[in-house]
Amino acid sequence: MKAKDDKLGLWLLIFVALGSMIGSGIFNSPRDLISVANPQGTLITWVIGGLGALMLALVFVYLAARKPELKSGVYAYARDGFGDYMGFNSAWGYWSVGWLGNVSYLALFFKTLNDLLGEHALSPLTAFLIGSAILWSFHAILMAGIREGAILNFIVTAAKLIPILLIILLGFALVRSDLFMVENWQRKLASTGGDTTPLMQVKEAMAVVLWCFVGIEAASVLSGRAKSQRTVRLSIIISLLVVLSIYMLVTFIAMSSVPAHELAASETPLALVLERTAVGAAGGLVIRLGIMISVLGASISWILLSVETLYAAARDGVLPRLFQKTNRKGTPVNALLMTQCFTQLFLLSILSPRLNETYLAAITIATTLVLIPYLLSSLYAVKTAFSLRKQESPRHLVIALLGTLYSLYVIYAVGLRYLILSVLFYGIGSLLFLRAKREQRKQPKPWEWAVIILLLGTSALIAGLLLTGRITL
């Protein structure tokens, strides 16, 4: 049993959630959104996405209250509701989100640093070596203890809020209604002049919005290390409201102060905003430094969440038992090592000079992978609320159904290409599930065998298509 002092309190849990949600999205979302949607379409997307994220947050709050014994968030909910194999898929998908997100963060870190350095930009090899050093520095910190990592995340998250608050405080003086209220917004994109529709704008922008909220479940994932389940519930709601407010304000200010075509073409869109305020040219430096601090903080958060998920699944026999091993500080050492090794392997992608493509591919695949854990959690909430329908308010069932519908809609919105690629991740992961079952001298259920065989066959086909160039990232 861990000492009380090793437990995570309300503020540490809030900042883990903030650290995981406020990463690359806050600095890039104005550009990514204006490229596919007009300001009015973006506003609609934020309203729908914000309400969807709120439903998901309330799902996690509800499950934390009704199922306090389940201490590992999305993984535990899926396993308790739908068996070992669904629990495994939730854990594997969520873990994959973590290290893929970290690849995207490091790609953005060096893209921003090179933008800052100008003609003295780092070579891809130098960026890879420095990125590797950062990655293993975080490894060393987390080996000292999960709480120590959470404290470091608290400090970094607090630091990265400074440039964001500058944008909000100074940016309102730049707001122009004519930039936000685009004429003929339903038919023409202001950024490119291309044809569009409101439905198309919302669909294209929704994946960007969801990426901004990925991490909303962070407190529930770490609930086993929390001081109480009440702090878990409070941290989920507080962190969501803070993040939603920040994202909507920043998006509104950016789109109301910089013409759409300029915003869409910028590598650092918020730098354009801050450079036009009273701070002038120094604003660009502040934003670029903020981006680098922000993505490093998000990286720490996602290592914490990934490691905890692997550990919990191994503890329950859903993943091989080697991931149960902890050091004297309580850090799951093998789970941490595997997470870092996968990140290191895929970090090879930044050897390509096209860092932006690496970043976009990584976040899109990660967003797709997280939808399965979200969907399974929402379905579990539906199952739980339905079973308790005679004892409690029907609003819980309605919220769970809305969370399910939102998850399904975003699965549709991300597109078939990335859904196909996500199958490859789940197919490969199934081999670890089979190993875990063999360690316990158990066999998967017949329906589990059927799904595993289908996934492995499909994964082999997808791998072949990738190797032949018929599918590209």
Whole-angstrom Cα distance, residue 208 to residue 200? 14
Ramachandran sector of residue 328 (left: φ over 0; alpha: ψ -120 to 50; beta: rest):
alpha
473 assigned to some structural domain: no
Whole-angstrom Cα distance, residue 187 to residue 301? 40
> pLDDT tens digits for 32-47?
899 999 999 999 999 9
The residue ranking higher by pLDDT, 239 or 45, is: 45
117 assigned to some structural domain: yes
Are 288 and 112 spatial neighbours (Cβ–Cβ below 8 Å)? yes
Angle between helices 355-387 and 84-117 (to 10 degrees): 150
Output the CA–CA distances (angstroms, integers) from residue 402 to 54, 366, 371, 374, 375, in the order listed. 10, 22, 14, 12, 11
**Residue 132 buriedness (CB in 10 A; 0-12 / 13-18 / 19+):** middle
pLDDT score recorded for residue 45: 92
pLDDT score recorded for residue 4: 46
41 assigned to some structural domain: yes
> pLDDT tens digits for 190-217?
888 889 999 999 988 887 888 777 777 7
| Domain count within the chain | 1
- Give the distance, in angstroms, between the CA of residue 20 and the centroid of all CA atoms in the same chain: 7
**Among 14, 204, 202, 24, which residue's Cα sits nearest to residue 102?**
24
The model's confidence at residue 334, banded by pLDDT at 50, 70 and 90, is: very high
Please state, rounded to an integer, the average pLDDT across all residues of the chain. 84
pLDDT score recorded for residue 210: 80
Q: Which amino acid is at 20?
A: S
What contacts 381, CB < 8 A, 6 or more positions away? 59, 62, 63, 77, 396, 399, 400, 403
Which range is least confidently modeled, 160-164, 180-184, 263-267? 160-164
pLDDT score recorded for residue 6: 65
174 assigned to some structural domain: yes
What contacts 53, CB < 8 A, 6 or more positions away? 210, 213, 216, 240, 244, 406
Q: Quick check: 9 pLDDT over 90?
A: no
> pLDDT tens digits for 399-425?
999 999 998 988 888 777 777 878 888
Query: Average pLDDT in the 169-176 region?
Result: 86
132 assigned to some structural domain: yes
pLDDT score recorded for residue 454: 93
- Give the distance, in angstroms, between the CA of residue 203 and the centroid of all CA atoms in the same chain: 18
Q: Quick check: 346 pLDDT over 90?
A: no
Q: Quick check: 136 pLDDT over 60?
A: yes
Are 262 and 179 spatial neighbours (Cβ–Cβ below 8 Å)? no
Q: Quick check: 219 pLDDT over 70?
A: no
* pTM, rounded to two decimals: 0.83
Provide φ and ψ at 403, rounded to 5°.
-60, -40
pLDDT score recorded for residue 420: 80
Whole-angstrom Cα distance, residue 162 to residue 199? 35
pLDDT score recorded for residue 353: 66
| CATH number for the domain that contains residue 406 | 1.20.1740.10
> pLDDT tens digits for 321-332?
999 998 888 888
pLDDT score recorded for residue 129: 93
What domain range includes position 372? 4-467
262 assigned to some structural domain: yes
472 assigned to some structural domain: no
Are 74 and 220 spatial neighbours (Cβ–Cβ below 8 Å)? yes
Q: Quick check: 436 pLDDT over 70?
A: yes
Q: Which residue has the tokens 């920040």?
A: 246
Handedness of CA 343, 349, 354, 359 (dihedral sign): negative
| DSSP string of 391-454, one letter each residue | TS-THHHHHHHHHHHHHHHHHHHH-HHHHHHHHHHHHHHHHHHHHHHHHTT----HHHHHHHHH
What contacts 111, CB < 8 A, 6 or more positions away? 267, 355, 356, 359
Are 163 and 290 spatial neighbours (Cβ–Cβ below 8 Å)? yes
The tokens of 77 are what?
């909910």
- 323: which DSSP letter? G
61 assigned to some structural domain: yes
Q: Quick check: 2 pLDDT over 60?
A: no
> pLDDT tens digits for 78-129?
999 999 999 999 999 889 888 888 888 888 888 888 888 888 888 888 989 9
